Structure 1
Amino acid sequence: MFKRVLLTALLSTFLFSCQQRPESDISYEISSVTVDSIPQLKIKMTLAADKDGTTTLSFPDEAWGEQGLYNSLGKMQLLNVEGAVEKDADSSRIVLMHPKNVKKLVFEYHLKQDFDGDITTKEIYRPIINNDYFHLFSHNMFMIPENASDSDVMDILLDWTFLPEKYTVHNSFGSKEKMQLLKAQNIGLFGSAIFVGGDFRVFHGDIAGNKISLATRGEWIPFTDEEVFKVLEETLTYQRNFWNDHSQKYFTVTMQPFPQENGSSFQGTGLTNSFATSVSNNDHTDIGQMVYLFNHELMHNWIGHTIKNDNEEEQYWFSEGFTEYYTFKNIAKNKINGLDGAFFIEELNRTIRDLYASSVVEAPNVEVNYDNFWTNYEYSKLPYWRGAIFGFYLDQKIQRISSGSKSLDDVMHQIYTDATGKDQKLTHDYFIGVMDTFWDNDFETVFQKHIEKGKKVDLVALFDELKLEYSPENDIYELGFEFTEDRKGIANVVEDSQAWQAGVREGDKVFSRSVWQGQIDHEVELDLERDGEKLNITFYPVTKAAVPQLKSTPENVEKLGF
């Protein structure tokens, strides 16, 4: 009797397991293991084998600015057949050699964290795996068949049941699901996702029947989980209302804290159904920075994602600059976290100062290319500043031309309609064509002058036309010196700058530094050495210039429509 009952129980368990593990084109079974005292993730992958006896998987050694990702790979082996595994880092391939005409392969590989100590901004895009949690992106977690293109679809099974019971599992496709079957999953979208697990806390909400969530961990110093989730909820609600787009059924934000002694730092990455952030956890970080981060990056769901650039860097004035402008506008219009028209003026003034202080302030748009944008700070920020100010200029002019019946919002809605209905990409000719219907003269000349040629908008004339109060001369950012390439010395100093007057000199050795790039209200702090003498120098990095700044008055706020 006992044997019969036991057999029945085992059979029931087997049938239950089969029911819980549906068929798929490819499956991943994820478990947590410790190898030589090092916490690792073990991933057992089941996939179709190539008939010729060589199955190749894609796994990049370089991605998102990170190199040497193969350092995170541990033990690898074929489980169901005899064979061999080879790593080909140069071509980002894992080659599985096995008998011919095998139908299925069961392949197991281990992932580990390849750096010691606390994470910093240098490691946030590398696999993070420790005893408390894991934090990985698709490309450094899941190998995929090399012959699968981004446009292909597959049924993908993610089996998390072998992780510790207490682990929270959360990712771009769902929350706290131990078994996830991604039916007809686009490979390109699967390859752009975030996967976290461990001691994460998850907060859930609902916007017009669609699920949103925030996954975070650690003990936050500058704010509470609830404050951050409220900002997320408000941001998504008002942005979706603006675009009249409540089509996204599921969306999540992940927040990973990291220690940082001086200053604040935060990064965000837009992914499939998700946005992954890493934020410095100290007193220098505040909830206001999260308001900006969420509003800018989540606006990219529409500007840059739905409305695609035809030529990435060439149209960054739009995808980054207009996103920046609508970040300020969305926050102020909807008073997110209590911010209002005074905030809009403050951010617009800061953007004007940053642009005017830039060494490439009037560089032609053609110079905002791949090489310059990704290697030079000034060029990387130029389309943000230039595009935001151009967006403000167009918004105000359209309102004047139409006597308040139209605004840049109508332009954006037209572009969005064409992007979703006609698959229209953002080109310069297309943008000029749309703007011609809102402009009272030749818009192409305006566009050529301020975007193509890079000439500054005459803000003094605009402020006068709008009868806005402003001051014509103000402080702008000037660091006043340049570091050596290794940032361990002073390469040169601008004579009579604040840095010069404070005592910074060419040739000084730098032992520590605190520089808030672009911030005129934060002192620069330097520990230097000259001729064996230790020097501690502080100064505000400012200089006077003919830079118009709006006054934060109730009259100005009202005239700007806030």
Structure 2
Amino acid sequence: MYSRRYLARLMRYWILTALLWLGSGQNSWAQRLAYTIEAAPQLPNALRVTLTYTTADTTATIFRYANDNWGETGLGACLAEVQANVPIQRKTVGDLVVLTVQHRPRQRVQLSYFVRPDRTDTLSYERTYRPIIEQGYFHLYGYGLFVQPARYWTTAEAQQRVRVRWHLPSGWKLLTSLAPQTARQVVVNGPASMLESSVFVGGDLQVRKLPVGGEPVWFATRPFQSLALDSAARHLQLAVRAQRAFWRDASQGSLAVTLLPTYERRPIDPNRRHLSVSGTALLNSFSAFATDADGLGPEIAERVDYLFFHELMHHWIGKQIRLRKEEQQYWFSEGFTEYFQTQLRLRMQVLNPAQYVQELNQDFVSALSRSPVRNVPNDSITYHHFWTNRDYEKLPYRRGFLFALYLDTQLKQTTSYSLADCLRVMLARSYTTNKKGFTDPELLTLIKEVTGVDPTPAYQRYIQQGQSIDFSSVALPPGLRVQSTTDNIPLFELAPAQREEFYQFMVR
């Protein structure tokens, strides 16, 4: 999953920022923003952040810190001991903690605060989106680390320079989203989301530099008992090479990837496997967590492989090929990501044809057929439904995957193009004429422009209306056929003699 929750909150933030700014009378900044972040033995389970700036011709500066973000609530409890060399007022407004700093025009201001985790129990999946500061290491997303000024970025697209400096104990490693990713001082230029959608890890880590073409991949891990990290690093390299070759995109720079273990608070029942592997695509990076438990090594490794391919695909679908309506377009951002990451795992022989069909049946056909919301219209996938109901959450992944399979098959059998050709044109347009994001009609028009086939009628039936695709009545890839089961779920079956033909068709 990429950080899609950010977009809806970002719109609310800019509305609130405008109201706060109008009340503060701010004009501009006299000096660039600078943060210094300190971790030290005398600061157990905490990071101290100092922010310095010189004010312009104003008498107040407003800062904000995420209180509710990415499904987490009450994050303001992690922001402690806020102090300044001038009067400061703190209050919670909506999903933000708002700090109002009073000062004289052109005064030098120093603001400091501590970030402390509000939970110190066993590091389980439920804690991974909150600040993690344990004995010997830390993991934070930017929204939980930085107090940001409301007026420094005047719009969501505005670019500003920020300096970030780290003071860490000798021997500690550091990896962040901000290039150069291992440097203890960086000066970066970008929008407000640059800080919020970044990850920062440091401490007793193993950091590998993995060569992949011209730009490296940095891979930071903590010790696992059940996962062979050398093997995970090789698979990460494979995934990055496969993605960059698929997209034929040389613009991607270095990448930071983190993988940390989580632990179950209850004993692992061998008959009920409680494990979680999750990740989030971010700025030039993605962070991942995986349950570490004896006896689950092969299953965890398989899920980590899947996660690498899925989250890396989001660096293009969702990050570069942007979309206008978040939940309403998850059929594309999540469904097409699932389809093409599975296709890439087949291409790179992480999956063989039989395993591909098994995954297709289990994770998509059967799962969608058994879903109580399988035929709800697309506009039912609202923010509330998606983040509070597991069936709605998985619906666009499954529906979008099967629609991509249907459309890709029809294009390959009736034209000289594939769905992948259309995505590469979308990528090219995202760098030039469509930087603000695609609407559904624009996506469909582009597919017709490239291939001559209009996907709109099928899109209306299978995506907007939520009708099930009857694969028994349409052309299928070579060797694939539909076989009804005793519970009337039409599953796919692959003829063993045509596995190679199926493989060549799918990866074309």
TM-score by length of 1: 0.77
* Counterparts in 2 of 1:99 and 1:450: CA distance versus 1, 3 Å: closer
Q: Distance in 2 between matches of 1:464 and 1:39?
A: 56
Task: Name the CA distance, whole Å, in 2 between partners of 1:256 and 1:71.
Answer: 24
Number of the residue aligned with 1:455: 467
What residue in structure 2 maps to residue 546 of structure 1?
Answer: 489
Matches within 5 A, 1:151-230: 151-160=157-166, 162-173=167-178, 174-182=180-188, 184-218=189-223, 220-230=224-234
Counterpart position of 1:13: none
Alignment of 1:28-427 (within 5 A): 28-33=35-40, 38-49=44-55, 51-78=57-84, 81=85, 83-90=86-93, 92-149=96-153, 150-160=156-166, 162-173=167-178, 174-182=180-188, 184-218=189-223, 220-260=224-264, 261-262=267-268, 263-282=274-293, 283-284=295-296, 285-336=299-350, 339-350=351-362, 351-402=364-415, 405-423=416-434, 425-427=437-439
User: AA paired with 2:501?
Assistant: E
The equivalent of 1:540 in structure 2 is: none
Tell me how far apart the structure 1 counterparts of residues 410 and 467 of structure 2 sit (CA, whole Å): 17
Contact 1:401 1:440 in 2 (8 A): no
- Report the residue type matching 2:431 in the other structure: T
Which has the bigger relative contact order, CA under 8 A and spacing at least 6?
2
Provide the residue aligned with 2:8 in structure 1.
none
* Shift in Å, 1:466: 4.8
Whether the aligned pair in 2 keeps the contact of 1:128 and 1:135 (CA below 8 Å) is yes
Q: Distance in 2 between matches of 1:273 and 1:396?
A: 32
For the 8 Å contact 1:34–1:40, the answer to whether it is kept is: no
**SS of 1:229 mapped into structure 2:** helix
Determine what percentage of the aligned residue pairs are the same residue. Answer: 26
CA contact (8 A) 1:168 1:198 kept: yes
Matched AA of 1:28: Y
Judging changes above 3 Å, is the alpha-carbon distance between structure 1 residues 391 and 108 closer, same or farther for their aligned structure 2 residues?
A: same
Report the Cα offset of residue 467 of structure 1. Answer: 5.4
Q: Which sits farther off after the overlay, 385-394 or 221-230?
A: 221-230
Q: What is the rounded CA distance, in whole Å, between the counterparts of 1:167 and 1:56 in structure 2?
A: 34
8 Å contact 1:158–1:179 — kept in the other structure? yes
User: CA separation in 2, counterparts of 1:332 and 1:367?
Assistant: 33
How far 1:181 moved relative to its partner? 2.4
User: Offset of 1:301 from its aligned partner?
Assistant: 0.9
TM-fit CA distance, 1:354:
0.7
Quote the offset at 1:28 in angstroms.
1.6
Does residue 468 of structure 1 match 2:480? yes
User: Whose strand fraction is larger, Structure 1's or Structure 2's?
Assistant: 1
Contact 1:401 1:439 in 2 (8 A): no
Q: Separation in 2 of the partners of 1:547 and 1:328? A: 20
Question: How far 1:34 sits from its partner (Å)?
Answer: 5.9
Alignment TM-score, normalising by the size of structure 2:
0.84
Instruction: Provide the C-alpha distance between the structure 2 equivalents of 1:328 and 1:217, rounded to a whole number of angstroms.
Output: 27
Distance in 2 separating the partners of 1:547 and 1:371: 31
Task: For 2:37, give the aligned amino acid.
Answer: I
> What displacement does 1:73 show?
2.2
| 1:309/1:464 CA distance change after superposition, 3 Å | closer
- 1:306-333 CA-partner distances (Å, limit 9, x unpaired): 1122222222111111111101100001
Give CA deviations for 1:160-208 in whole Å, capped at 9, x if unaligned: 2x321111111002343222222x3333212210011101111112222
1:170–1:215 Cα contact (<8 Å) kept: yes
- For residues 500-540 of structure 1, the C-alpha deviation after alignment (integer angstroms, 9 at most, x for no partner) is xxxxxxxxxxxxxxxxxxxxxxxxxxxxxxxxxxxxxxxxx
Structure 1 residue runs of 4 or more that deviate by more than 4 Å after TM superposition = 437-442, 463-467
Instruction: Note the alpha carbon deviations across 1:141-167, whole angstroms, 9 max, x for none.
Output: 11121212343333322222x321111
Mapped partners of 2:353, 2:361: distance in 1: 12
Which structure 1 residue ranges, 5 or more long, are not aligned? 1-22, 475-543
Quick check: which has more Rg, 1 or 2? 1
**CA 1:120/1:105 → structure 2, altered by over 3 Å: closer, same or farther?**
same
- Any conservation in 2 of the 1:398–1:407 contact (CA below 8 Å)? yes
Q: Output the CA distance in 1 between the equivalents of 2:440 and 2:100.
A: 47
Q: How many residues align?
A: 460
Residue 289 of structure 1, CA deviation: 0.4
User: Aligned letter for 1:294?
Assistant: F
3-state SS of 2:337 partner? helix
CA distance, structure 2, for counterparts of residue 467 and residue 95 of structure 1 = 63
Amino acid paired to 1:302 = W
SS for the counterpart of 2:99 is strand
Q: How far 1:67 sits from its partner (Å)?
A: 1.5
CA distance in 2, matches of 1:557, 1:99: 72
Q: Secondary structure at the match of 2:480?
A: coil
- Provide closer, same or farther for how the CA distance between residues 58 and 398 of structure 1 changes in structure 2, counting only shifts above 3 A: same
In structure 1, how many angstroms separate the alpha carbons of the residues matched to 2:276 and 2:423? 31
Report if aligned partners of 1:360, 1:379 keep a CA contact under 8 Å in 2. yes
Q: Give secondary structure in 2 for the equivalent of 1:221.
A: coil
Q: Distance in 2 between matches of 1:39 and 1:455?
A: 52
